[in-house]
Homo-oligomer: A and B are copies of this chain.
Amino acid sequence: MESAILIIQCKDQKGIVAAVSQFLYFHNGNIQEVDQYIDKDTGDFFMRAKWELESFAIEKDQISRIFDETVAQKFSMNFSLHFNHPKPRMAIFVSKLSHCLFDILGRYFSGQFQVEIPLVISNHTHLQQPVEAFGIPFCHMPITPENKSEQEEKQLELLRENQVDFVVLARYMQILSPNFIKDYPNRIINIHHSFLPAFVGAKPYHAAYKRGVKIIGATGHYVTEELDAGPIIEQDIARVRHHNTVEELVQIGQDVEKVVLSRAIKYHLARKVMVIGNRTVIFN
């Protein structure tokens, strides 16, 4: 069943909810989900509304224009309109570790992720066989300090060719350059293997072991220029005990990583994530 999702962000003003719900009601929209949030500190208003397209009185390609003219302009809204067809297109970047990749591919296989995966890019060949077994093209693009910016250009080219909507870094062990990131603002999802902001950077499980924490975690976030500092989409944790070695922390942590990353992708796919400064609103 085809549905539309409207995402709205503007300064909080009286009458917004009334105007939007009136718009949908007037044009015979059957609302399925609607959420709002008012940020008291900043005075920002956020809204997400999902409704069925079948009975809607406005043609699919006219909704945006008409909403803009009759509602959005009056409230100086930033808004975006999304449909569940065609499916969004997601590229996956991996290195050697397979747990996040397999978790995503499993959901893709079972239909839990309504997404197209036109390609997987990796700086290693380690995961080529399983990716291709799922019928997905695998691009091996090794990275060295010398070829990095050149390879990134090629990667961006590939993303464009494949009309990729967003990128998932499924334990991709390379830091993307600002030049790459700026093309996909709030559209690159990374999984960091710590409970951010604790243990930013490399080897967080070693750092967690050394600090003697009793709980480890993982963080799914949008990538920004500052390392591991982008807006957090989802986090989760697992208990560890004194006798767990670093290797055991890694194994326990991987179970958290893969579930957190897949939840972040799920929220992103459902257009439930909105970014305000460095925070996220998650309508879940």
Contact = CB atoms under 8 A, between A and B. Distances in A.
A155 interface: no
A148 to B, nearest CB: 27
Interface string A86-99: 00000000000111
Interface in A270-284: 278-282
Nearest to A259: B255
B110 A106 contact: no
A278 B211 contact: yes
A102 B112 contact: no
Interface stretch (A17-25, A58-66, A72-80, A138-146): A17-25
Interface in A133-191: 133-134
Interface string A119-141: 00000000000100110000000
Interface in A216-274: 217, 231-237, 239, 241-243, 245, 251, 254-255, 259, 262
A215 interface: yes
Interface of A: 14-15, 17-18, 21-22, 24-25, 28-38, 40, 97-99, 102-103, 105-107, 109-110, 112, 130, 133-134, 195-199, 210-215, 217, 231-237, 239, 241-243, 245, 251, 254-255, 259, 262, 278-282
